[in-house]
Structures are given as C-alpha cells and as structure tokens.
C-alpha cells in the first residue's frame, strides 16, 4: 500500500508536470528550457552566457530589494545568485519563517519581474560568512552530536524535513515552470570539507524528488584536482562549477573543470568571481583594485566564459548573524564584521559611483554587448548630527528583567548556550566559591567566545559587582581575581558573548558559551545558574517596545511606528560606580517628515564594544577599539518621521561625551593602529 507521503510526492510530481506542460504549450512561444550542451549554456534554443552576481536577500532590508537588483541589472548582470540560509527560515524546530527578510518567494518573483534569472544555492550548508554556515544552531543541541555535512542519518532526516518545506516553494519558480530559476546548487564547496559521496548523492536524489529531472543542478568547488574530486557529483549528472582566486588564469582551471563533468556538459563558469573579500574584526579592510578586478573578469567574459560576481552587492550582517573563521585550531578565532560590504561594486549602502562598478560595467558591456541599462536614482543619505545618550540602566540592575525566569537553567556544570535555549547574543553564568588569600586564579579552558568576569559578596545586592577582567577564546588566559572581604561566599558572574559561529572549515560544530569546567585555584566550581538574555524582553521593564530580530514573523516591515513613549530611562535602578560594567544607553533624534527620512550611518568613535538598536531593530555589533569598522549602516526604512530611538548595549566603557554621530558616509578607519 502506498503511504500518504508517497501520494503527496505523486501529487507534487503531477502538478509539476502540468505546470511544465502549460509553460511549454503557449501558442506562438518556444518551450521554456535551460540546459547545457556542447560545453555551453543554452536557453530557449540559443546559446547563453551567464553574467551573474550574488545579491543576498537576507542582507538587505526588503524595501531595498528592488533597488539593489536594479543596480545589479544596470551593471550588466542577467542573473542573480543567492544562498538560502536554513537558520533564517527554521529558527526553532519546525517553526517556519517566510515573511519580512525571510520572504524568499517575493524576492525571487521580484527578480523575475525585473527580467533577471536566478541561480539558487539551497545548501543545506551555505558558508557565506553567515552564522554556522546557515545551519540552525539548535542542531548543536541534538544528542548524540550530529555529524554536520555527512551521511549521519539524523542529520539527513532534518535536512529532508527542511527541504520538504523549502523545495515545494521553489518548484513553481523553476525556469521550465515559468519562473526565473535556471540552476539549483547542491551543498557548497564540499570538496574543501570532505569526501562523503553518499551524502552528496542523497542530496541530489532529494532535490530531484521535489524539483524534477529537468532543472540543472550544480556544485561549486575550488578549482583544484582535490576539491573537484571530492565535491563533484559527475555520476548524477550534476554540473560542476568552479571558483578560484581573481588573479589566477581561469582557462587552465576551466580545462580541469571538464574532467569532472560529463562530455559536452562543462560550460566554463566561475560561480564565485571575487570582487573583493571578507574582513574580520581587528584587520584592515580588505580591498581589491578596480583595474585588476575588471581585467580578471574580462579574461573570462571576452572568451565566452561565464562568471558570477561574489559579491555584486554584499549588504549587512544585521543582528547577530555574522559568521567567523578559525585558523589551525578552534582557538584561532576571528569574527566577521557587521558590514558585508565586501568591497563589492554595489556598496553596502547601494552606491554605484565608484571605480569598481564603472570598470566592471564597462567590461561587461564590451565583452557581451549587453545594452547599458540606466542607473537607478541615487538613494540619498543624511547626516543627522550628534545625538546625546543617557545611561538608562546598568546591566546588573536589570539582567533578571531581560531574562525569562522560566528559561533560567540550573546545572552542576556550565551548559552551552544552545542547551539553555539561547541561540544568539549573551548568556550570564553565576556560581559561588570561597575566597582564600589576597587573590584567586580563575581558569576557563574553553569559552566561546568572550567572557566578562565580575565578583561580589553573595549576600550583597547583585548590583554591587566588581569587574575582574576578560577571558577570550583566542587567548584562553587565566585571570587573577581579588578576594573580597565577605562574610559569605563570593559570587562569580560571567557574561559570555556569542560573537558569531564559525561558518567554514573543520571547526564548524561551534557551540557557544562555557564549554569546559570553571576552576578557581584549581578547584572546579559547581552549582551554576544560567540566565539567557533576551532583548525582546525589555518591555517587561516598562512599556518599551520589544527589540526584534530580523526573523520575527510579525516584522514583515522592519520599521516600528507608533507605540509608547515610555523609555528604559524610566527604570529606577542605577549602579554606583563601576565603569567597566555593561550598561544600556538611550538617545533620540527627530526627523521632521517622511520626505527627510534618508539612509545614515551611526559613528561609534569613542565607544568600546557592544550592540546597537534603532527603533527596536538590531543593526548589529560595534567594536571601534578593535576596528576597522567605525560606523553601522542604518537604512531609511528602519527610520520614521518624528522621534527615533537609539539604544546601545555598551559592554565596557562608554564614549566620554556619551554621544554618537549620525553621518552620511561609512567609516573603516577605527582600531588600535589607526
């Protein structure tokens, strides 16, 4: 007897066949078809050259999707490539998000409306300098631990459950069904990670089940023998594309590519042509010259090769979604900036009046003969000037108010953030010990990623904290703590920040929080309480509206109009004295009318490290003392006429003037050496 699932799949296949038949039988029109033959791409009976670019919907406020796509089209692109981050769409198990930033179907239809094709990178792993490479962090809570990107049966079950939701949404938008999607990518650069061919074969079978056999499936791997050998799926007739450094000669790599495709099925394609590069905190901003980038692109396009610019437009890692990288060990940790400008031709704020955009546009027109589409009108930016901020609360005044008491975890040993249900942001760990001698030595061998340490007498008010220092993942040092003159035990409070999960390489299974024992003078501490902090719960303190993450299903528009004028400053809690304690600050600026609402940047020069919110929207992390990013991008749709509210969670020492500056232009000149 056939199962209900079998009937569902049969119905889906019949529906797809009907859609395909209808799309191909319109009187007077040739059948819609995209395929590879004679080592070339073909579309509707004619050879086709892909001139594409990555533009990620989840890094752009939805109100600007059309603007950024129009700028990509004016660059000369005919195809848009985008990842689909699983963690954006399934933030909790079987809790699906497809609105606001996550409204992928609207984004794909918009691309079609603008007469652009789409290459869709459905993962399940995407990399992309995105938290955990796009995997939902709740995967890290499953026992026994999953083997991500493998044939692990539990992992594959969860992938199928996710694709069972995603792929039926994608299927009607395939090119042969009348939509814009010409190709769908399986996994991403798997050849740089492993060689589990059974895993790749399974993904292909799963994709074909929902998308049919006509869609061109593809992989993307580095242009080396080893990566292509491990990542290509030639036996399943999956097209193997390549990527490589911009300075490399592409054509020997394209010849190598042919060995990993079926005969006649190796159209030369650089699926990631790098227009720039990523930047971590503490580094100088990565840049490439316009002339060298244009020259490299010309060497592909003018010989009838195809290329996808990575990135055409980078965008922004809003909220807590930035990724991170490691070196030879997991302790060599480097988190990505909030900005994902990537030195792309279309800048983070949409600017196209730069040498790289002009040079690439000129090369694309010269090599392909594509007509030059007019540039969209500039998006105006405004300097709203200095904004004075007031301290409204110290962290220890209110931490219990921004933590749901039902979610406080108790354990003999510290738990990871994920096991407490805290997938992003901050977790406070609290325990006690007996102080002996003039000081004690604190050791946390494994903390992900950055721990601020405080001590107080356990019988004193929790607000009377003394700052002891910081322990960081990348230094893993011990910390000397002064012994307090207490009649009771000493309370140890450790605030741990998740700075972004690793998105690439062997250490991708990147749990956050305290992942080892905690020792004082060699003695292991027990009896821990863990407080997951939610900025959504700030409204528990007053009628202040909750700050929302970009995946909130209710936030189909990112701005929040109206609401109470009661602010955090109404709190009656204030701490006397410790300048190193995390604190909340609030400021206001006024915009006269809708006509004067424009993009802006908030400069955090003089501040230390923290997170910023504008009108309840998390615009990202700032860390000007580390640099190089000094200012965070604030798109106009986040702003509103009238009163605009900025809330800053500063982890250390505020700007002495307690001001921020709203300026027109980005700034990447901060840091200790600048």
Examine the domain organization and report whether 490 and 352 are in the same domain: no
At 562 the pLDDT is 35
H or E stretch including 65?
A: helix 65-75
At 25 the pLDDT is 43
Question: And the tokens for 619?
Answer: 């615009």
Contacts of residue 647, defined as CB under 8 A and 6 or more positions apart, other chains included, come to 547, 568, 584, 585, 586, 612, 613
- Catalytic-role residue among 272, 418, 583, 586: 272
Q: 98-133: per-residue pLDDT in tens?
A: 999 999 999 999 999 999 999 999 999 999 999 999
5 within domain boundaries = no
Examine the domain organization and report whether 264 and 338 are in the same domain: yes
SS3 of residue 394 by DSSP: strand
Examine the domain organization and report whether 517 and 595 are in the same domain: no
Cis previous bond, 144, omega within 30? yes
Across the range 589-607, mean pLDDT stands at 95
H or E stretch including 162?
A: helix 153-170
pLDDT of 362 strictly over 50: yes
At 401 the pLDDT is 87
Specify the number of domains making up the chain: 3
Contacts of residue 562, defined as CB under 8 A and 6 or more positions apart, other chains included, come to none
Among the listed residues 408, 632, 410, the one whose alpha carbon sits nearest the alpha carbon of residue 534: 408
Question: Which residues span the domain enclosing 217?
Answer: 40-366
pLDDT of 515 strictly over 90: yes
Beta strands 306-313; 269-274: pairing state = parallel
Across the range 610-621, mean pLDDT stands at 97
At 30 the pLDDT is 64
Examine the domain organization and report whether 87 and 193 are in the same domain: yes
671: left (phi over 0), alpha (psi -120 to 50) or beta: left
Among the listed residues 308, 381, 370, 377, the one whose alpha carbon sits nearest the alpha carbon of residue 66: 377
498 within domain boundaries = yes
What are residue 523's DSSP bridge partners? 520
Q: Among the listed ranges 258-267, 461-470, 529-538, 566-575, which one has the minimum average pLDDT value?
A: 566-575
- Catalytic-role residue among 97, 129, 176, 189: 189
At 550 the pLDDT is 66
Across the range 41-64, mean pLDDT stands at 98
Query: Residue 181 and residue 172: Cα distance in Å, rounded?
Result: 9
Contact 136, 90 (CB under 8 A): yes
DSSP secondary structure, 251-310, as one string: HHHHHHHHTTS-TT----EEEEEESS---BTTSPPP---HHHHHHHHHHHHTTT-EEEEE
Query: Residue 388 and residue 286: Cα distance in Å, rounded?
Result: 32
Q: Among the listed ranges 18-32, 59-73, 149-163, 611-625, which one has the minimum average pLDDT value?
A: 18-32
Examine the domain organization and report whether 418 and 493 are in the same domain: yes
pLDDT of 576 strictly over 50: no
Question: And the tokens for 120?
Answer: 């869709």
- Determine the Cα angle at 194 with ends 244 and 297, to 5°: 10
Examine the domain organization and report whether 438 and 505 are in the same domain: yes
pLDDT of 376 strictly over 60: yes
DSSP 373: P
Contact 242, 257 (CB under 8 A): yes
CATH at 487:
2.60.120.260
Across the range 518-535, mean pLDDT stands at 96
At 31 the pLDDT is 82
**Could you say which of 470, 504, 532 is where a domain stops?**
532
SS3 of residue 318 by DSSP: coil
**Could you say which of 532, 558, 586 is where a domain stops?**
532
Q: What is the largest CA-CA distance in the chain?
A: 91
Question: And the tokens for 340?
Answer: 């994902």
Active site residue 583: no
Across the range 238-258, mean pLDDT stands at 97
- 559 or 400, greater pLDDT: 400
Among the listed residues 599, 590, 587, 589, the one whose alpha carbon sits nearest the alpha carbon of residue 382: 599
207 within domain boundaries = yes
Active site residue 272: yes
Question: And the tokens for 224?
Answer: 């080396």
CATH at 324:
3.20.20.80
pLDDT band at 547 (very low <50, low <70, confident <90, very high): low
At 462 the pLDDT is 77
Examine the domain organization and report whether 185 and 320 are in the same domain: yes
Q: What percent of the chain has pLDDT over 70?
A: 89
Across the range 56-68, mean pLDDT stands at 98
At 672 the pLDDT is 85
186 within domain boundaries = yes
Tokens 């079987």, residue located: 94
pLDDT of 4 strictly over 50: no
Across the range 328-354, mean pLDDT stands at 97
* pLDDT mean across residues, the chain: 91
Examine the domain organization and report whether 457 and 331 are in the same domain: no
Examine the domain organization and report whether 309 and 435 are in the same domain: no
At 29 the pLDDT is 61
Question: And the tokens for 266?
Answer: 């190796």
Tokens 């593809």, residue located: 218
At 579 the pLDDT is 55
CA distances from 413 to 448, 518, 526, 528, 545 (A): 16, 8, 6, 6, 35
489 within domain boundaries = yes
pLDDT of 560 strictly over 50: no
Examine the domain organization and report whether 426 and 475 are in the same domain: yes
Examine the domain organization and report whether 329 and 427 are in the same domain: no
pLDDT band at 19 (very low <50, low <70, confident <90, very high): very low
SS3 of residue 206 by DSSP: helix
Examine the domain organization and report whether 590 and 522 are in the same domain: no
pLDDT of 503 strictly over 50: yes
């Amino acid at each position: 007897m056939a199962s209900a699932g079998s009937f569902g799949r049969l119905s889906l296949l019949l529906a797809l066949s009907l859609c395909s038949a209808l799309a191909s039988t319109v009187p007077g029109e040739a059948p819609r078809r995209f395929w590879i033959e004679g080592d070339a791409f073909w579309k509707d009976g004619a050879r086709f050259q892909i001139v594409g670019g990555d533009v990620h919907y989840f890094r752009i406020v939805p109100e600007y999707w059309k603007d950024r796509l129009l700028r990509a089209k004016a660059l000369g692109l005919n195809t848009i490539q985008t990842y689909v981050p699983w963690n954006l769409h399934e933030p909790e198990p079987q809790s699906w998000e497809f609105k606001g930033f996550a409204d992928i179907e609207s984004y794909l239809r918009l691309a079609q409306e603008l007469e652009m094709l789409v290459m869709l990178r459905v993962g399940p792993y995407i990399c992309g300098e995105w938290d955990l490479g796009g995997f939902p962090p709740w995967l890290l809570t499953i026992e026994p631990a999953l083997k991500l990107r493998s044939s692990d049966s539990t992992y594959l079950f969860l992938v199928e459950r996710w694709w069972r939701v995603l792929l039926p949404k994608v299927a009607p938008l395939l090119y042969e069904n009348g939509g814009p999607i010409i190709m769908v990518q399986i996994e991403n650069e798997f050849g740089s990670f492993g060689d589990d061919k059974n895993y790749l074969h399974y993904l292909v079978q799963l994709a074909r089940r929902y998308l049919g056999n006509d869609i061109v499936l593809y992989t993307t791997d580095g242009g080396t023998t080893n990566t292509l050998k491990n990542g290509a799926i030639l036996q399943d007739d999956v097209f193997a594309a390549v990527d490589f450094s911009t300075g490399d000669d592409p054509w020997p790599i394209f010849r190598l590519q042919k060995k990993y495709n079926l005969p006649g099925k190796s159209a030369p394609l650089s699926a990631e042509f790098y227009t720039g590069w990523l930047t971590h905190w503490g580094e100088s901003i990565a840049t490439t010259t316009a002339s060298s980038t244009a020259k490299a692109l010309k060497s592909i396009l003018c010989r009838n090769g195809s290329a996808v610019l990575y990135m055409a437009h980078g965008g922004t890692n809003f909220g807590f979604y930035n990724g991170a990288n490691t070196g030879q060990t997991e302790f060599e940790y480097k988190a990505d900036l909030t900005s994902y400008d990537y030195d792309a031709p279309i800048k983070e704020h949409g600017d196209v009046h730069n040498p790289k955009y002009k040079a690439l546009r000129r090369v694309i027109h010269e090599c392909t003969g594509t007509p030059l589409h007019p540039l969209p009108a500039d998006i105006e930016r405004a300097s709203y000037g200095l904004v004075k901020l007031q301290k409204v609360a110290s962290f220890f005044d209110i931490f219990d108010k921004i933590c749901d008491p039902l979610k406080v975890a108790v354990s003999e040993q510290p738990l990871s953030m994920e096991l407490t249900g805290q997938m992003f942001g901050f977790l406070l760990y609290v325990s006690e010990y007996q102080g002996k001698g003039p000081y004690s030595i604190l050791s946390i061998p494994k903390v992900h990623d950055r721990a601020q340490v405080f001590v107080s007498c356990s019988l004193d008010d929790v607000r009377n904290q003394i700052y002891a220092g910081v322990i960081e993942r990348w230094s893993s040092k011990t910390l000397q703590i002064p012994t307090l003159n207490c009649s009771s035990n000493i309370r140890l409070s450790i605030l741990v920040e998740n700075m972004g999960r690793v998105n690439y390489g062997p250490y991708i299974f990147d749990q956050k929080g305290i992942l080892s024992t905690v020792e004082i003078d060699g003695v292991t501490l027990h009896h821990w309480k863990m407080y997951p902090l939610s900025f959504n719960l700030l409204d528990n303190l007053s009628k202040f509206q909750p700050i929302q993450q970009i995946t909130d299903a209710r936030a189909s528009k990112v701005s929040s109009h109206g609401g109470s004028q009661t602010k955090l400053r109404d709190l009656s809690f204030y701490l006397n004295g410790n300048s190193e304690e995390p604190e909340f600050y609030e400021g206001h600026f006024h915009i006269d009318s809708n006509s004067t609402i424009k993009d802006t940047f908030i400069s955090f020069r003089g501040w230390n490290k923290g997170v910023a919110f504008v009108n309840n929207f998390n615009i990202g992390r700032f860390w000007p003392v580390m640099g190089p990013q000094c200012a965070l991008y604030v798109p106009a749709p986040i702003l509103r006429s009238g009163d605009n509210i900025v809330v800053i969670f500063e982890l250390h020492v505020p700007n002495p003037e307690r001001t921020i500056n709203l300026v027109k232009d980005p700034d990447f000149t901060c840091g200790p050496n600048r």
